[in-house]
């Protein structure tokens, strides 16, 4: 191989090496441009937000658990100053609601429970709202603020939550049928739709 041919090959190699960074840079620029174009196209597409289209779908509904056991023996003094017992309500469908004045979901569900009670009281439905550990003056103020006509019981020693229904969750609700058997148990805030779905059929029985 002549010296001239060697020089020519060296020059070709150098030219290839020099051209690689330029080609690589061009490829990077081209790829980046395509990515930006793709992102712009995605941003221009109409958004379909399921939560905004149907707000209720993003909120989990509290549904009751079906149970079957005898209602406990429980008697407490109500805001009217009289002692009341669960046994006095035999023959009615009773929703026992355990709540407290400091509990946000308890406050949120109370108007729903009261409205349902007022609409279905003539069908043999009773609502017993048992305050868990609150002072009488606080319970009385709470009942007045929500204009409660249902029976509100005082439970300063937590007899209902600890001894009778054995729950530490507030709010908790129990539905007792006309024979004195607990059929439903709720933990958490109750919605009107679930009351109509689960409790209203029991009133027709």
Q: Report helix, strand or coil for 203.
A: helix
- Angle 137-152-64 from CA coordinates, rounded to 5°: 130
User: What pLDDT score was predicted for residue 138?
Assistant: 98
Residues 73 and 31 in one domain: no
User: Do the domain assignments include residue 16?
Assistant: yes
Residues 115 and 84 in one domain: yes
User: Do the domain assignments include residue 164?
Assistant: yes
Residues 34 and 72 in one domain: no
pTM over 0.75: no
* Parent domain of 37: 1-41
User: What pLDDT score was predicted for residue 36?
Assistant: 53
Q: Torsion-angle region of residue 11: left (phi > 0), alpha (psi -120 to 50) or beta?
A: alpha
Residues 31 and 67 in one domain: no
Q: Give dist(CA 101, CA 82) in Å, integer.
A: 21
Ordered per-residue pLDDT tens for the chain, 205 residues: 555 555 555 555 555 444 444 454 555 555 555 545 454 444 444 433 333 333 333 446 789 999 999 999 999 999 999 999 999 999 999 999 999 999 999 999 999 999 999 999 999 999 999 999 999 999 999 999 999 999 999 999 999 999 999 999 999 999 999 999 999 999 999 999 999 999 999 999 8
Q: Give dist(CA 110, CA 99) in Å, integer.
A: 9
Chain centroid to CA 89: how far? 30
Residue 112's contacts (CB-CB under 8 Å, 6 or more residues apart) are 190, 191, 192, 195
- CATH number of the domain bearing residue 123: 3.40.30.10
User: What pLDDT score was predicted for residue 35?
Assistant: 47
User: Do the domain assignments include residue 47?
Assistant: no
Residue 194 · residue 63 · CB < 8 Å: yes
């Amino acid at each position: 191989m002549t010296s001239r041919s060697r020089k020519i090959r060296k020059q070709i190699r150098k030219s290839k090496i020099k051209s690689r960074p330029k080609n690589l840079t061009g490829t990077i620029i081209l790829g980046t441009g395509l990515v930006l174009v793709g992102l712009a196209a995605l941003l221009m597409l109409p958004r379909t937000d399921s939560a905004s289209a149907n707000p209720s779908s993003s909120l989990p509904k509290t549904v009751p658990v079906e149970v079957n056991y005898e209602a406990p023996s429980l008697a407490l003094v109500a805001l009217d100053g009289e002692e009341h017992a669960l046994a006095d309500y035999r023959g009615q469908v009773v929703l026992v609601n355990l709540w407290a004045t400091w509990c946000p979901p308890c406050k949120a569900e109370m108007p729903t429970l009261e409205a349902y009670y007022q609409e279905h009281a003539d069908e043999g439905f009773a609502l017993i709202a048992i305050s868990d550990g609150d002072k009488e003056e606080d319970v009385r103020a709470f009942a007045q603020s929500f204009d409660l006509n249902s029976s509100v019981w005082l439970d300063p020693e937590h007899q209902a939550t600890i001894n009778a229904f054995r729950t530490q969750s507030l709010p908790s609700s129990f539905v007792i049928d006309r024979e004195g058997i607990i059929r439903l148990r709720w933990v958490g805030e109750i919605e009107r739709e679930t009351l109509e779905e689960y409790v209203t059929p029991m009133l027709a029985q």
